[in-house]
Structure 1
Amino acid sequence: MALHRYFIIYKPFGVVSQFSGEGPTLASLGTFPKEVYPVGRLDKDSEGLLLITDDKWLNHHLLNPRFGHQRTYYAQVEGLPTPEALKQLQSGVLINVDGRDYKTKPALAKIVDLAPSLPERIPPIRYRASIPDTWIELTLIEGKNRQVRKMTAAVGFPTLRLVRFSMEKINISGMQVGEIREMDQESVYRALGLTGFMKTDSSGNFRKKDRRS
């Protein structure tokens, strides 16, 4: 049985999180096996970590809200968030999801004193000397459509630039925009805290545990 393939990408601004369709797509970044697909999505105007694989079990596990794995984002927002706004982000805010009000689950939110070490965005955000901006770090355990942007807007501080930095311990530290790295299955599962779902077979290879194990 062929081994699954795993790639992490630093998705650039303006690239669509799919392999076909209009506009720059993931296919513009390199050549991938035809069986792989993104785990979740990043909006066209968002940047950062995207995991691509043909591991259907992993895709289901990471997208299933029951399991709530952590996703950390850096958001450059308009203005200087107040302590009250940060508390709202942490405790949950009302956003619109598919035409209905939805209260986000508790999150971690804090102001980043020094701008995160990230490659410049191309094109850069529009600079306005009269309006300050602030970087905040947000860690969520869910991923609704445009959730971070909706959350910061709901507390009065619209997002100007958004970068997904990590999923659990997989991150884009040191990566360049558009860079692609392939990872092996063991490394991916360890970084995601999923080694409890793996065991070693007679050949010494990792494979997912049978539910009866």
Structure 2
Amino acid sequence: MLLEFIRGNTAPAPVPFVPEITLFQADEPIALWEKTEELGAEQPPPFWAFAWAGGQALARHVIDHPDLVSGRSVLDLATGSGLVAVAAAVAGARPVTANDIDPYSLAATTANAIANDVEVRTLEADILDTDDEYGVVLAGDVFYSREMAARVLPFLRRAAGRGSLVLVGDPGRAYLPDSGLIERAVHDIPVPVSLESVPTRRTKVWQLVNR
């Protein structure tokens, strides 16, 4: 049922800044938003139907620098569409785990992994209070709210403290931390004007360290 909803309300298309990857994406965000609201008041917005700037930058970085993830275990935190997880798998990461609390997100991730002929594990859970070990932790566009940042940042810093490579893609969201970040790349990312109010977002890839 979930896969049918994803495939019935989105269409496969290349990601603007990562054309090597095809995602099931929505053409009209408002209409899809309304459809997901009909599924129930508790249903999160369909973040999984769009290639957000932070995820695009992070996916581009991973594909351009496969040595960062190749042969290593990878966690894509708050995966959304699964774009970053798919990019990690394309770059040779093994195994790749895509995590989210939204089952529709993980269904989209499965559809997108199949579309790109890669293997991605899905994990539906709130893992932010856990300490599982991964070689690399990737987080695209996770600092969009105060509440989310307050929970994500300690998780990421703990992962960095255990020796994980932690990379964050962020287009200047309000709650990006102001310390413990090392800039790794800068890109101007094409984004849907209907979502971001601008055609591009200056987006950075950061390495987060435990300090």
- Structure with greater Cα Rg: 1
More helix by share: 2
TM-score by length of 2: 0.25
Structure with greater contact order relative to length (CA < 8 Å, sep ≥ 6): 1
| TM-score, scaled to structure 1 | 0.25
